[in-house]
Structure 1
Amino acid sequence: MLRALAVIASLAATPALAATCGNDAGGWESWKQQFAQEASAAGIGQRGLQALSGARYATRTIAADRNQRGVRYALNDFIRIRLGSLDSFASQATRRLDQNRAFFQSLEQRYGVPAGILLAIHGMETGFGNNMGNENVVSSILTVAYDCRRSDFFTPHALAALQMVDRGMLAVGQNGAAHGELGHTQFLPGNALRYGQDGNGDGRVDFYNMADAMASTANFLRQKGWQPGQPFSEGTPNFRVLNEWNAATVYQQAIALSAERIR
């Protein structure tokens, strides 16, 4: 969910301390030392600083970032490639809904977001939790914060990831997607801190727990303007909220069309 920008003011970089970005691994270790000062000034504790010290330059993350082509498929092609078909995808989602309807009903009562939307996002992001990524979250998010291409965007998320380590919300060795997206619905760390919810009532927020991830996703959409009980087809205010999740129109269309079939 790279489109979703949630910069946490308390973790914003202090300009006087801003670490010098780089375009290859050559300045990585020096940058980490500089960034440690920035992180410490932002309130990052010992566990987070240790995670920063041990982070590696994520070459696969850089390769993925520099080879992005964007979503240029027509809707039908996108659905075929990403979902197989709307009906088969919706059937998979409905089976998961049938396993836990009371839970999804409780989320809709609290946040106003229907189960179909949440399950469509879950399925499209990680195949219902079957593929949450194989890149180390801390290393990946720090690498794109170091890289000069988009360091301003990713620096607050890198600080947030270290804060999550401090709070016990993120294990140092936890894997996620190429740009540090984590959990069942691929939250960036800054958004995870801001919108995270305890969905299973165990007193902590864990984005690798399905209940927590679903509650957090519902909270994100509600906070972005989702209107409970209103339609979400293309052209409606709720459809526009989906742009906060992903900027690709075909992605938004696929979510809405799938959600209509998930019952």
Structure 2
Amino acid sequence: MRRSPTRLIPVLASLICLASPAAAASCGNTATGFEAWKADFAKVARKAGVKRRGLEALAQAQYATRTIAADRNQKSFRYTLEKFLQVRGAETIVAQARRRKAANPNYYATLERQYGVPAGILLAIHGMETAFGNFMGDSPVVSAIVTLAYDCRRSEFFVPHALGALTLVDQGSITAATLGARHGELGHTQFLPGNALTYGVDATGDGQVDFYNLTDALASTANFLRAKGWKPGRGYAPGQPNFRVIEQWNAATVYQQSIALMAARIDGN
């Protein structure tokens, strides 16, 4: 049975409501205190409805030193647009995206009919996030996102996503060992776990939302953009109606501009 993403929205809302006590409980900036914080967080997770598998994944979570290092050192988002495009390999992304679109035009046309999001946007995101699935991360998702929920720098933001990750474990979408990006993003297009829980689509119809399956991942990405207000057929360059939706995908201005520029070239606009 295909899971309806709209039915998951109240789930994440309830997790957010329960986040405040965890955010206030003994956050830290080093590994010291992490295990004690996990014990407190387990109580919040139980109240949020996290069950046995999710709680076991929380208990197994390790303090992710590489995640903290990455969070403190996000230099690429301070580049100029030209430098960012060069560093991220925009020319290669556009060329590969055009080939992918040409090889499977009906697939991308179907996604656009269903969600209103053109191929260029989905391909630009896919290429930017994981080089079209060639590298989806090397960090355990649960450990990374739980570490960020514990870390005092942005605990309030990451606590709901940590609860989302544990719920995804309960649902079987990920396990304690699933690998993703350093900040806990997962799958082909690097969803944060709370967003994965809310906007995930079982496009294959196999009864499971699998973000490491391309069909599920791209449908989920398109669903996210539609839910954030994507207007079919409207422009997505800076200043146009759909650019504000791209802003919902990633908060970095240089990233947003890059997606819009690459997508326009992929789509031939």
Give me the TM-score of the superposition, normalised by structure 1: 0.92
Alpha-carbon distance in 1 for matches of 2:247, 2:126 = 16
Aligned to 1:75: 81
Aligned AA for 1:24?
T
* Residue 48 of structure 1 pairs with residue 51 of structure 2: no
Aligned to 1:148: 152
Aligned to 1:159: 163
* Residue 64 of structure 1 pairs with residue 70 of structure 2: yes
Aligned to 1:180: 184
Aligned AA for 2:50?
I
* Residue 90 of structure 1 pairs with residue 94 of structure 2: yes
> Identity, % of aligned pairs?
61
Alpha-carbon distance in 2 for matches of 1:256, 1:68 = 21
Structure 1 residue 84: Cα displacement? 4.7
Deviation per residue, 1:100-155 (Å, 9 max, x gap): 22221111001100011100000001111111110000000000101111111100
Alpha-carbon distance in 2 for matches of 1:251, 1:14 = 28
Alpha-carbon distance in 1 for matches of 2:20, 2:234 = 43
Structure 1 residue 204: Cα displacement? 1.5
Q: Which runs of 5+ in 1 are unaligned?
A: 1-5
Aligned to 1:3: none
Q: CA contact under 8 A between 2:57 and 2:175: conserved in structure 1?
A: no
Structure 1 residue 98: Cα displacement? 2.5
SS at match of 2:242: helix
Deviation per residue, 1:155-175 (Å, 9 max, x gap): 000000000000001121001
Aligned length: 256
Q: Which of 92, 99, 107 matches 1:103?
A: 107
Q: CA contact under 8 A between 1:7 and 1:190: conserved in structure 2?
A: no
Q: Which of 241, 246, 251 matches 2:255?
A: 251
* Residue 34 of structure 1 pairs with residue 40 of structure 2: yes
Q: Which runs of 5+ in 2 are unaligned?
A: 1-9
CA, structure 1 residues 72+66, in 2 after alignment: closer, same or farther (shift >3 Å)? closer
Aligned to 1:208: 212
SS at match of 1:208: coil
CA, structure 1 residues 204+7, in 2 after alignment: closer, same or farther (shift >3 Å)? closer
SS at match of 1:184: coil
CA, structure 1 residues 31+201, in 2 after alignment: closer, same or farther (shift >3 Å)? same
Give me the TM-score of the superposition, normalised by structure 2: 0.90
Alpha-carbon distance in 2 for matches of 1:211, 1:184 = 10
CA, structure 1 residues 99+199, in 2 after alignment: closer, same or farther (shift >3 Å)? farther
Q: CA contact under 8 A between 1:180 and 1:189: conserved in structure 2?
A: yes
- When the two chains are superposed, the root-mean-square deviation of aligned CA atoms in Å is 1.8
